[in-house]
Amino acid sequence: MVSYILRRILATVPVMAIVAFFVFSLLYIAPGDPAAVIAGDQASPADVERIRQSLGLDRPFLVQFGSWLWHILHGDLGTSIFTSLPVSSLIAQRIEPTLSLMAITLVLTIVVAVPLGVVAAWKAGSWVDRTIMTFAVFGFSLPVFVVGYLLAYVFALQFEWLPVQGYTPFAKGFWPWLQSLILPAIALGCVYIALIARITRASMLEVLQQDYIRTARAKGLGQRSILFVHALKNAAVPIVTVIGLGIALLIGGAVVTESVFAIPGLGRLTVDAILRRDYPVIQGIVLLFSFLYVLINLMVDVTYTLVDPRIRY
């Protein structure tokens, strides 16, 4: 298993290299002179020249890519054009709210979606199943900011149960921190819950038709034990896979959720960077999130061997 894990880690290296190459070459795919685009419409030729120099755009493409990659491998993500601060320290300042939001959403999703999917599969075809699956379709269709505004309007403005906007750092206590993230996490989790519930149901339906489930019933096991111990364990591989892949939804949605709920995280940093055309910051964030995404899916691959001992590599 150790050799399998090592091989999987090594396999992510080329993927990350391609990601880095993409993120870097985006600057050149875009039409026109990248320095002029970043400088904006009101820039003087001197400004454009300054940006060209500071980004090293006057050097050959591969030389630029090489030196950029070299810096990144040393933890240097470049310098923000607007604030002149290192991108890595800008990201470090903003990462806590984003990671908190994503972690709470992930926990909420698993706690809600998996049981919903299991129940839907157990009661397949009944009104319970139909209701859950109808909710799943709505969950897919409601964009994250729509759910966000709706929740904030009802639970924060009308009932005043939870804060409308803003973020309380974890250092100020667990409860205020959690309170500030409940609504954003539900808004962000909607699509994700719909996705995981659907996959759980599909995977469970397949497993519930197997012979050993009939055997378990025949020997008189309780329904709960059959569903959650015997069936869910064997239905876990596709569910875990989709939880990993769904992180992409979570990352994209976090950017929007943060701007709806005024959470000062990486999403807010992205939006500000877009408005200021601060390309090194955008590059750094895209690279970081992609790296996180690859890393999480690497962990998912490794958990296969834990949930399913039949998988041997």
Partner 1 sequence: MTVSTTSPMQIPPGLVIAQQLPDLLLPSKVRRGVVGFLRNNPTVAIGGALLLCLVLVGIFAPYLGTVDPTAIAPAKRTRAPSADFWFGTDLLGRDIYSRVLYGARVSLTVGLSVAALASLAGLAIGLVSGFVRWADSVIMRFIDGLMSIPPILLAVALMALTRGSVGNVILAITIAEIPRVSRLVRGVVLSLREQPYVDAATASGTRTPMVILRHILPNTLAPMLVQATYVCASAMIVESILSFIGAGTPPTIPSWGNIMAEGRALWQVKPYMVFFPAAFLSVTVLAVNLVGDGLRDALDPRMAKSL
Interface residue list for partner 1 (CB under 8 A): 14-19, 21-23, 26-27, 29-31, 34, 37-38, 137-138, 140-146, 149-150, 153, 157, 164, 198, 201-202, 205-206, 248-249, 251-253, 255-256, 259-260, 270-271, 273-275, 277, 279, 282-283, 285-286, 289-290, 293-294
Output the smallest distance, CB 173 to partner 1, in A. Answer: 26
On whether the CB atoms of residues 77 and 23 are closer than 8 A, the answer is: no
On whether the CB atoms of residues 151 and 187 are closer than 8 A, the answer is: yes
Output the smallest distance, CB 19 to partner 1, in A. Answer: 5
Q: Dihedral sign, CA of 15, 21, 27, 31?
A: negative
Q: Which is nearer to partner 1, 23 or 113 (by Cβ)?
A: 23
Q: Which is nearer to partner 1, 1 or 262 (by Cβ)?
A: 262
Residue 20 vs residues 66, 74, 288: alpha-carbon distances, Å: 11, 14, 10
What ranges in the chain are assigned the alpha helix state H? 2-29, 34-39, 45-55, 61-73, 87-122, 127-141, 144-151, 174-208, 211-218, 223-224, 232-260, 266-275, 279-307
Dihedral angle over CA of 174, 177, 178, 181, nearest 10 = -170
Q: Which is nearer to partner 1, 221 or 294 (by Cβ)?
A: 294
Output the smallest distance, CB 161 to partner 1, in A. Answer: 16
Q: Which amino acid, residue 249?
A: L
Q: Which is nearer to partner 1, 33 or 58 (by Cβ)?
A: 33
Output the smallest distance, CB 268 to partner 1, in A. Answer: 10
Output the smallest distance, CB 251 to partner 1, in A. Answer: 4
Identify the burial level of 73 via C-beta atoms within 10 angstroms of its C-beta, where 0-12 means exposed, 13-18 middle and 19 or more buried. Answer: exposed
Output the smallest distance, CB 248 to partner 1, in A. Answer: 4
Q: Which is nearer to partner 1, 21 or 313 (by Cβ)?
A: 21
Q: Which is nearer to partner 1, 129 or 170 (by Cβ)?
A: 129
